[in-house]
Amino acid sequence: MTQRLIVIGGDAGGMAAASQARRSRGADDLEIVAFERGHFTSYSACGIPYWVGGLVADRDALIARDPATFRSKHQIDVRLGHEVTSIDLDRREIVARDLVGGGEVREPFDLLMYATGASPTSPGWARPDAGGVFGVQTLDEGSALLAWLDGSPRPERAVVVGGGYIGVEMAEAMIHRGLSVTLLDRSEQPMSAMDPDMAVLVREAMTQVGIDVRTGCEVTGLTTANGRVTGVQTVDGLIPADVVVLGLGVRPNTALAAAAGLPLGPTGGVRVDRRQRVIGVDGVWAAGDCVETFHRVTGQPAYLPLGTHANKQGRVAGIDIGGGYATFPGVVGTAVTRVCQLEVARTGLGERDATAAGYHFVSVRIESTSRAGYFPGAAPMTIKLLAERRSGRLLGAQIVGRSEAAKRIDPLAVALWNRMTVDEMTGLDLGYAPPYSPVWDPVLIAARKASDAVMAAT
């Protein structure tokens, strides 16, 4: 008998699950219907700042698979412009609103994939009705922002509110567009995911390209005239603005799940097991930015919304839906970005995280170069490591550098994943040639210094 899978959410987690399930089960065995409230499927939201900034010219380059491909090649019934408004687990039915044609549709399901993603943090003062105020979480929002930037009168002054990954990337994008840019953040430094002594390097780089970075700054409201934003009001005064970009972070989009009775964890995400099955609810899976996951360093629940996790979790769910067996092994919190030619990377715990988790640790910072010092193009980088005081186990790493720095976080993430000590890391057999590394790679220098610090502390 043919089963019916309903997928709520047409981006990474949902469509990865649908595609993987289809590989195992044909259309005669499994009917798949996917509901997406926007106009696109399976796209790279992480690429939006680079598209807005002009580094990526074509919006379609950000789309991995369009709805037509899913329909024709994968036999997945993708319904764009449909927002699921309720889930009835007893009746095994969803209700969706047709945002284009109007009206509602009711669709039964045997199996359900919940992949609603994240909702942007939007304080009351944000006033989404004001012209010139934008989030950049979706391609639709990116398109609207670009239309505003290219419209008349052309904006000259941009204010970016929030100094996390999206905020700093959008500040750089506005610089590329030729606007004067002010970035506001309530924290001590932008990039609060980094320790303050590393985040200050990011601030310096932003300031050097002309971005006015104001930290410890609380926004209280917006000013408008003729339906257009004219400024951002802060406790320290008014900052003129022709366009305002919100980069205040996200939270799990779980209102629909909570209303349906799906369990939520302490981070606010849907609770799932290692196979991405919603705990305590038969025939329901969840993946992506709406779920809570497992942190391999702390052993605690974690919320880390990244496209890499969403795709992997969706694949795991799809294998399980297809009758196979797979598990998602958790995360260590690896992330990289580029800010004004400065590469920024982190994995594992920062000092605040390690303290909150109850670890006693040592931390070290080293300065090195991306290549042999005598080789043309050698660029400085700073690496910081945290290690548990007694065992020497690596707890976290952060890197800031000008060139060829960010991807050095990968061997550190692998070491962290495998619970290596910093002493063990000093012997890693990393590649060496003058165009690529000093004879002592910066990762090895940092590990050696961390090992010395552990020995001195025990």
Q: Which residues are catalytic?
A: 46
Report CA Rg, the chain: 23
Q: How far apart are CA 38 and CA 162, in angstroms?
A: 25
Do the Cβ atoms of 422 and 410 come closer than 8 Å? no
The closest alpha carbon to 299, from 393, 184, 187, belongs to 393
Which among 9, 18, 2 is positioned nearest to 322, based on CA atoms? Answer: 18
Tell me how far apart the alpha carbons of residues 198 and 215 are, in angstroms, rounded to a whole number.
15
Nearest Cα to Cα of residue 387 among 414, 425, 344: 425
Q: Name the nearest CA neighbour of 132 among 243, 246, 248, 245.
A: 243
How far is the C-alpha of 95 from the C-alpha of 106, rounded, in Å? 5
Nearest C-alpha neighbor of 297 from the set 348, 355, 335, 346? 348
Alpha helices, DSSP H, located in 374-421: 409-417
My answer on whether omega of the bond before 153 falls inside 30° of 0, hence cis, is yes
Instruction: For residues 218 and 204, give the distance between their C-alpha atoms in angstroms, rounded to a whole number.
Output: 21
* Sheet strands side by side (includes 133-134): 133-134, 243-246, 157-161, 180-185, 212-215
Compute the distance between CA of residue 391 and CA of residue 395 in angstroms, rounded to an integer.
Answer: 11
Torsion of CA 43, 47, 52, 58, to 10 degrees: -60
**Distant-in-sequence, close-in-space partners of 152: CB < 8 Å, separation ≥ 6:** none
Q: How many Cα atoms are found within 13 Å in the side-chain-facing hemisphere of 374?
A: 3
| Rounded Cα distance, 85 and 10, in Å | 15
Alpha helices in 251-385 (DSSP H): 255-260, 307-321, 351-356
**Which residues, in sequence order, are bridge partners of residue 312?**
none
Q: Using CA atoms, how far apart are residues 41 and 47, in angstroms rounded to an integer?
A: 14
